[in-house]
Copies of this chain bind each other. A is one copy, B any other.
Amino acid sequence: VATSVAELAKLVGGRVDGDGTRPVHGISSLAEAGPDQISFLANPRYAQQVLDTRAGAVVVDERFDGDVATTLIRCSNPDAALARIAEVFAPEGPVAAPGVHPTAVVSPTARLGEGVSVGAMTFIDDEVEIGPGTILRPNVTIGRGATLGGQCLIYPQVTIRERCRLGDRVIVHAGSVVGSDGFGYVMDEGRRIKVPQIGCVVLEDDVEIGANVTIDRARFGETRLERGVKIDNLVQIAHNVRIGEGTVIVSLCAIAGSTTLGKNCVLAGQVAIDGHLTIGDNVIMAAKSGVTKDVPSGSVIGGFPAQGHKADLRLKAELRRLAGSGGRLGAIERRLAALESPAAQNEGD
């Protein structure tokens, strides 16, 4: 792909500051871009890199005030501009021609929308419904009675179990499992008996699920991820969890059964949340948080058991300072004892 700085500026609604005729053949980071590539400054923290970059052009915020020779594209949202420009230079993806690969196995009772692409060795069970334009890559398994919306993209080795329902434009990365049995047993006369998990999983429109994620079906009812939820790799979502619109969960988190998360929360890596809790909207959880009780909307929390994030950081800092105090305490007690002794009192006389 070859284009120019001016054309890219037009694409992203930006303003050229420098030579708009400059040809652009690719996109890269400030550190790695060469003279025929465009780069971008998303985080002002890295402004120094704009001075040092070999990039032919750089996308910056319209208020950027660095004194640089490089051609700039100034725009109101460099992050969004980057996403759009990256699409221009994205290498051609896998060929996923509409139609069913001859080695795929599709039940005669499955219904496939227009333009659906079914990859090699993919299995589609009875009564499955798939919306128009959805792409199933090779070696995928779709269970009986599952429904997928339109324009979904299901990567290889994914399992979507029976009766799960996906909205439109849902992306599921390789190796993930949607609709595995919830982890539920009851004791009966000393033996552990499996509780049938007869519910399903619902992934609403625009949900994206990372690689090797596991999302358990509900015991009854649904495990539901609302519109636009984004899940990173290796995350565990237990049965009957509900995750609100736009919430983002980073890798290796675990949400235990029947917990509800609000909208637009952000969970950093390795967070664990107990079962049967209610987490509000816009909650931010620091990495490795362990959440043991309900959390009101707007909270920023951290630590285990989780508390306010600032309080948690302050606690850790204070404890580090305190850790040396064992000696201080002993010294104080010795000084006190000296003051309290009759001799001390006498000295005072």
| Residues of A that sit less than 8 Å from B by CB | 27-29, 32, 42, 77, 79-80, 82-83, 86-87, 89-91, 93-95, 101, 103, 105, 119-121, 123, 125-126, 137-139, 141, 143-145, 155-159, 161-163, 173-177, 180-181, 183, 185-188, 191-196, 198, 208, 210-214, 216, 219-221, 228, 230, 232-234, 236, 238, 240, 246, 248, 250-252, 254, 256, 269-270, 272, 274, 287-288, 290, 304-305, 314-316, 318-326, 328-329, 332-333, 335-336, 339-340, 345, 347-349
Q: Are B287 and A288 neighbours in the complex by a CB distance under 8 Å?
A: no
Nearest B-chain residue to A196, judged by Cβ? B86
B256 touches A233 (CB 8 A): no
**A298 smallest CB distance to B (angstroms):** 17
Of B123, B180, B233, B254, the residue contacting A180 (CB under 8 A) is B233
Chain B residues with Cβ under 8 A from A163's Cβ?
A: 91
A-B contact pairs, 11 of them (CB 8 A): A32-B220, A79-B195, A87-B196, A103-B121, A123-B139, A157-B159, A157-B175, A175-B175, A177-B212, A210-B214, A270-B272
- Asked if B335 contacts A336 (CB within 8 A), the reply is yes
Contacts known (A139-B123, A336-B339); A220 close to B28, Cβ less than 8 A = yes
| Chain multiplicity (copies) | 3
Interface pair B90/A198, CB less than 8 Å apart? yes
Cβ–Cβ contact B333 & A94, under 8 A? no
A302: nearest chain-B partner, CB-CB: B304
Q: Is the CB of A326 within 8 A of B333?
A: no
Instruction: Give the complex CA separation of A177 and B174 in angstroms.
Output: 6
Q: A83-B195, A186-B79, A194-B208 are in contact. Are A252 and B233 (CB under 8 A)?
A: no
Q: How far is the CB of A142 from chain B (nearest CB, A)?
A: 9
Bound-state Cα–Cα, A214 to B326, Å: 45
Q: Find chain B residues with CB under 8 A from A348 CB.
A: 345, 348-349
Question: What is the distance, in angstroms, from A278's C-beta to the closest C-beta of chain B?
Answer: 12
- A123 & B123 in contact (Cβ 8 Å cutoff): no
Asked if residues A214 and B212 are in contact (CB atoms below 8 Å), the reply is yes
Inter-chain contact B196/A90, CB cutoff 8 Å: yes
